[in-house]
Amino acid sequence: MRIGIVLGAALLSASAVGAQPSPVDRFREANDRVRGGDYPKAIALYGEIAASGAESASLYWNWAQAARARGATGEALWALLRARELDPGDRAVRRDIDKVRQAANLDPAELAPEPLAAVARFGRRFRLDLVSVGLLALSLVGHAFSRLGGGGRGLLAAAGTAAALALVLAAAPGAGSFARPTGVVVHRGAPLLDSASPTAEAVGALREGEVVPILEASGDYVRVEDSSGARGWALSADVRRLDAAPGR
């Protein structure tokens, strides 16, 4: 009898899990909400999907469209930039980033405070890691052939050049690990605070949509530096990070 009760409970639990909507189903529901004009609910659903680990450039692109329709320019720009992190080669995402940036009157430099992060994206976009492997293979073949007496010094020099270029290209995708993490100011008039405290005083305001380096984090606050060089603390709800999905 006890075994039957345990087995029945396990089956009910499995049934409950199976009844939960999949990320694909929730994604469709969110898109239906957008078409119906329920942007807050759609954004909430997109956030749940991202927090579950089912991220994609398409998810964030749709999230950005819902945020734009709601008038949340900073959130839309964050979603597009997050999409670009996942798929640097997506032309629609890059095109929309430029549109939203211009609508927010932001300079291109205000979206790229960390050059090394841009180098890493470039490397991922053009798969420089694979190009590097190909060049290294050619270099090895060239060295082997020259040792067998073919090609002469010219081939040996070319093989050396290919090896050096392979090392340079291999470093590009990993350049982002040396860049400071960044976040996007998602709320208009987000205050720049003098400390990480509920009683902190505002010493300035951050521009909605601006990408800012994150210097450190403390509880619900992050220490940032804006494009003018001003440093201070901001609520993490006002500055959404680009290096991780929300809620993770």
For the stretch 20-48, pLDDT in tens is 789 999 999 999 999 999 999 999 999 99
Separation CA 204–CA 221 (nearest Å): 16
Q: Is 3.40.640.10 the CATH classification of the domain at 180-241?
A: no
Q: Summarize the confidence of residues 174-189 as an average pLDDT.
A: 87
pLDDT of residue 17: 46
Q: Which two tokens stand for residue 244?
A: 């991780």
Relative orientation angle of helices 91-103 and 73-86, to the nearest 10 degrees: 150
**Residue ranges of E strands in the chain:** 182-185, 191-193, 202-205, 211-218, 221-225, 231-235, 239-241
- Which of these ranges, 28-37, 124-133, 165-174, 184-193, has the smallest mean pLDDT? 165-174
Residue 90 scores a pLDDT above 70: yes
Specify burial of residue 180 (Cβ count, 10 A radius: 0-12, 13-18, 19+): middle
pTM of the model: 0.80
pLDDT of residue 153: 65
For a pLDDT cut of 70, what percent of the chain falls above it? 80
pLDDT of residue 117: 83
Looking at domain 2-105, which CATH architecture does it have? Answer: Alpha Horseshoe (1.25)
pLDDT of residue 149: 63
